[in-house]
A = this chain, B = another copy of it.
Amino acid sequence: MERAQKFLNYFLSHRKVTNELIKKIDENNYDYKPTETSMAAGKLVTHMLTSFYMFSKTVKEGSPAVFGEKFEEIAPNLSEAAENYTEKTIEIISSLTNDELERTIDMSRIFGMEFTGIQLLQLAIDHEIHHKGNLFVYVREMGHTELPMFVSR
């Protein structure tokens, strides 16, 4: 589990910052979007939370079946959703064995290629950092000027 623990710390160094940003989003800003073609804040945050959960569940199960499940498009309360999904994701990551991390998973239906568990988790982190980078701009545009560092130690 040492590798899983290392990865968990890496995940949390970014997720903690995501959750700090989410706390700053007022309910009346869930519909906020920087431009007409942008994803609204509530949808963006829900997408981040459910995506990481699905990536980690895929690594645990060795199959992307979870990507066929229905998730809510916009969580009714973003801070609560952040807490719940973060908890569920921590639980899965903590339980990953080295075999699960090294196992090859056929993601061709979704991403056109195979991934090992650890490669899929790295993609999940990259995806989180990317959208967190979007979210920093959104939250600043909502009027917040005291923002955290992009990664927490």
A residues engaging B (CB < 8 A)? Answer: 14, 34-35, 37-38, 112-113, 123, 125-127, 129-138, 140-141, 145, 150-151, 153
The 4 closest A-B pairs by CB, nearest first: A133-B133, A137-B137, A130-B150, A129-B129
* Contact across chains for A34 and B140 when beta carbons are under 8 A apart: yes
Q: A37-B145, A132-B133, A145-B37 are in contact. Are A127 and B150 (CB under 8 A)?
A: yes
Chain B positions within 8 Å of A125 at CB level: 126
Complex copy number for this chain: 2
C-alpha gap A134/B127 in the complex (Å)? 13
C-alpha gap A132/B133 in the complex (Å)? 7
Chain B positions within 8 Å of A135 at CB level: 133
Interface of A is mostly: helix
* Contact across chains for A35 and B133 when beta carbons are under 8 A apart: no
C-alpha gap A112/B149 in the complex (Å)? 14
Q: Which residue from B112, B113, B134 sits with its C-beta under 8 Å from A133?
A: B134
Q: Can you sample 26 A-B contacts with CB below 8 Å?
A: A34-B137, A34-B140, A34-B141, A35-B141, A37-B145, A38-B137, A112-B153, A113-B153, A123-B151, A126-B129, A126-B150, A126-B151, A127-B150, A129-B129, A129-B130, A130-B130, A130-B132, A130-B136, A130-B150, A130-B151, A132-B133, A133-B133, A133-B136, A134-B134, A134-B137, A137-B137
C-alpha gap A2/B103 in the complex (Å)? 21
